[in-house]
Amino acid sequence: MITPIKALRKNRFKTALIFISMSVSIAAIFLISAISGGVVSMYSSMLKTDGDIIVTQKGIADTFFSDINRSAADEIAAINGVREVSALILGAAPVDPLPIVGIYGASKNRFKSYALKQGLYPSSGEVMLGSKIYETLKHPKTISLSKKEFRVSGVFKSRIGFEDGGVVMGLEDAGAVFHKSASIFLLALNDLGKSDAIVAQINKTYPQMEAKTTDGFIDSYNQFKIIKTSSDVIGAMAFLMGILGIVSMMSMVVNDRRAEFGIMRSIGLSSRVIIFKLLGETLIIALLAFAVAYGVSEAVLELIKHADKFQGYINGEITAALAIKVFVVSVVMALFGTLLPAVYAARVDPMSLIQRGGA
Amino acid sequence: MKIEATGLEHFYGHEKVLDGVDLTIDSGSFTAIIGESGSGKTTLLSILSTLLQPTKGITRYDGKRLSELGNIDRFRRHNIGFVFQFHYLISYLTLRENIALGAIDESRIESLLHSLGIAKLSHRYSDEVSGGERQRAAIARALVNAPSVVFADEPTGNLDSKNALGVYKLFREFSHQGTGFVVASHDKKIADYADVIIEMEDGIVKQIHQ
Ligand SMILES: Nc1ncnc2c1ncn2[C@@H]1O[C@H](COP(=O)(O)OP(=O)(O)OP(=O)(O)O)[C@@H](O)[C@H]1O
Ligand SMILES: [Mg+2]
């Protein structure tokens, strides 16, 4: 155990370079996965609040474009097994001085899902603000939205970043701003066992609408797939860059240490011993790099969470599952990156020690 | 271990550098290979020590051909030691750790450190001792597994004459205890210490002095 550390210390400049390149790659993988996971999980927990089933316009790619008739909500609420139906308008608009803010129009029965911190739920001509945006805008009395003034009736606290950085208003007011009746319905059920039957019934009765269980919706939602795929691609690129960094640095290390491997071969140590020796050395670096990348990522995520600029929209969490995944990725990165240079090291011909003029 | 070479020829590309070498090396003797630069000493030593395959000819180790020795790493580890012109000590290990690196068991290390006069320096790193001391550590590394034969190519090439004579004396002492030494050298003085002197010229054995 002590020997590889001595070897790393002896080659400390290159060790440091390998360590930095691994740390950067691992941190990149951590951050991109945590942030994309955070976006998906924030949006899905928003939909899942009292939403066992979600109803949208049929064939729509993004809930922002969805437009359905809010009058259907009462009829759907009458279906056996449905406890409550809330209608939502999901929109985004500039709120001076912020260039873009999430705006949520909600039917009255939905208001209870927002925990009021101060004031009252909004009536017509009023809005309530998430605590984050309330701070960002420095406790405004009114806000202006699409050239209209709205009085701030209250402030709510939500752990979902999108909501905490957003504006909630009545469905009618939001309908006037965004020129639509409703974006989606969220259905809370009495009995989850009936969800498939209810989905089928809605889809049959309203051909222009599409009902899905919220879990099914999240699994098939295109926007989430795009976010996940791009984060996977960026993660894979970071992984490859990490491997390339290790391969090139380790090749230089092996070249510097040719005499060492030649002498090991000449005294009869097997190729395997040399390969494991080098793998062991990079594994040590990988473990350190993982620990540092983990710490740095947590710190960056914490900074992002509290950065006014992002209004809480960007919010990532390193779950245990993600940490384990990235740990495995780090180990694999170290092993893959070292294998080729190590095999090369194990093939150093002891003859080169005899023939070569110098150490 | 008895090493027999018959009809050794070696080419580097089209250039023939060994041209029919036959010789026998007995265990427990100190054999010096001398000759002009380019006469083929290093090439012959590399072939005898299993590092190089001859283009033609056969080497036998106690009657066994190279292909019959089994795992060559293992064979080398148990039977052969090397000393090079440069010490090739690993700089991040102490002298003792360098010697222990290839040791099958470490029981001989202390006595070797003593008989080579580097016991007090064993915890030092190679850049903290003199050139002669480094080469003695390299000799200890070669001897740690009690090999039958130690091969050395210009082992005194980087030493002053006083240290060089010290190395020859060590070889003679250890050969009297049963380890064979095969040493290629320019240095004519080695003749005063060796039991057998093989004189090379242009790829052939010119003379063998017993
Ligand atoms: N790897 C090689 N490729 C091509 N030619 C080589 C190689 N090694 C040695 N030679 C040639 O083979 C001949 C014998 O070389 P060798 O190294 O065996 O001589 P030597 O007696 O050890 O010389 P020196 O005393 O200078 O070390 C020389 O002419 C040399 O140029
Ligand atoms: Mg030579």
Q: What is the pLDDT of residue A7?
A: 86
CB contact under 8 A, A351 and B141: no
The residue whose CA is least distant from atom 29 of ligand 1 is B38
Q: What is the pLDDT of residue A311?
A: 65
Identify the domain containing residue B183 by its residue range. Answer: 3-209
**Strand boundaries in A204-345, DSSP class E:** 209-213
Q: CA A77 to CA B15: how far, in whole Å?
A: 97
Tens of pLDDT along A224-275? 889 899 999 999 999 999 999 999 999 999 999 998 999 998 888 889 999 9
Residue B146 near residue B175, CB atoms below 8 Å: no
Q: What's the average model confidence in pLDDT over B187-197?
A: 90
Q: CA B139 to CA A144: how far, in whole Å?
A: 87
Residue at A181: amino acid letter: S
DSSP code at position A113: G
| pLDDT value at A312 more than 70 | no
Q: What is the pLDDT of residue A350?
A: 85
The residue whose CA is least distant from atom 26 of ligand 1 is B37
Rounded to the nearest integer, the mean pLDDT of chain A is 90
Q: CA A128 to CA A155: how far, in whole Å?
A: 5
What number of residues does chain B have?
A: 210
3-state secondary structure at position B145: coil
Q: What's the average model confidence in pLDDT over A295-316?
A: 82
Instruction: Please indicate whether residue A47 or residue A186 has the higher confidence score (pLDDT).
Output: A186
Q: CA B138 to CA A101: how far, in whole Å?
A: 73
Q: Mind telling me how many Å the CA of A359 is from chain B's nearest CA?
A: 6
CATH number at residue B64: 3.40.50.300
Q: CA B19 to CA B10: how far, in whole Å?
A: 7
Q: How would you label A188-216 residue by residue, b for 16+ Cβ within 10 Å and e otherwise?
A: bbeeeebbeebbebbeeebeebbbbbbee
Q: Which of B52, B76, B91 comes nearest A268 by C-beta?
A: B76
Q: CA A85 to CA A262: how far, in whole Å?
A: 76
Q: What's the average model confidence in pLDDT over B151-179?
A: 89
| pLDDT value at A357 more than 60 | no
Residues 6+ apart with CB under 8 A from B114: none
Residue A291 near residue B120, CB atoms below 8 Å: no
Averaging pLDDT over each range in A54-63, A336-345, B64-73, B103-112, which range is the top one? A336-345
B18 bridge partner residues: B10
Q: Which of A10, A259, A267 comes nearest B102 by C-beta?
A: A267
3-state secondary structure at position A208: coil
Substitution candidate for ligand 1 out of B12, B47, B53 with most atoms within 8 A of CB: B12
**CA distance to A242, B15, B41, B56, per residue, from B201 (Å):** 55, 15, 9, 19
Q: What's the average model confidence in pLDDT over B174-188?
A: 91
| pLDDT value at A343 more than 80 | yes
pLDDT band at A315 (very low <50, low <70, confident <90, very high): confident
What number of residues does chain A have?
A: 359
3-state secondary structure at position B166: helix
Q: What's the average model confidence in pLDDT over B50-69?
A: 91
How far away, in angstroms, is A354 Cα from ligand 2 center? 8
Ligand nearest to the CA of B12: 1
Q: CA A79 to CA A311: how far, in whole Å?
A: 39
Least confident of A219-228, A331-340, B180-189: A219-228
Question: How many domains would you assign to chain B?
Answer: 1
Q: What is the pLDDT of residue A359?
A: 40
Q: What is the pLDDT of residue B11?
A: 92
Q: Of all atoms in ligand 1, which is nearest to the CA of residue B186?
A: 25
CB contact under 8 A, B92 and A10: yes
pLDDT band at B57 (very low <50, low <70, confident <90, very high): very high
Phi first, then psi: what are they for A120, rounded to 5°? -130, 165
Q: Mind telling me how many Å the CA of A270 is from chain B's nearest CA?
A: 6
| pLDDT value at A107 more than 50 | yes
Q: What is the pLDDT of residue B138?
A: 93
Rounded to the nearest integer, the mean pLDDT of chain B is 90
**Domain extent listing, chain A:** 4-43+224-358, 59-207
Q: What percent of chain A has pLDDT over 90?
A: 65
Q: What percent of chain A has pLDDT over 70?
A: 97
Tens of pLDDT along A74-86? 999 999 899 999 9
Residue B146 near residue B112, CB atoms below 8 Å: no
| pLDDT value at A341 more than 90 | yes
CB contact under 8 A, B86 and A269: no
Query: CA of A10: which chain B residue's CA is closest?
Result: B92
Q: CA A326 to CA A330: how far, in whole Å?
A: 6
| pLDDT value at A358 more than 50 | no
Q: Which helix (H) or strand (E) holds B185?
A: strand B180-185
CB contact under 8 A, A263 and B90: yes
Residue at B116: amino acid letter: L
Q: Mind telling me how many Å the CA of B88 is from chain A's nearest CA?
A: 6
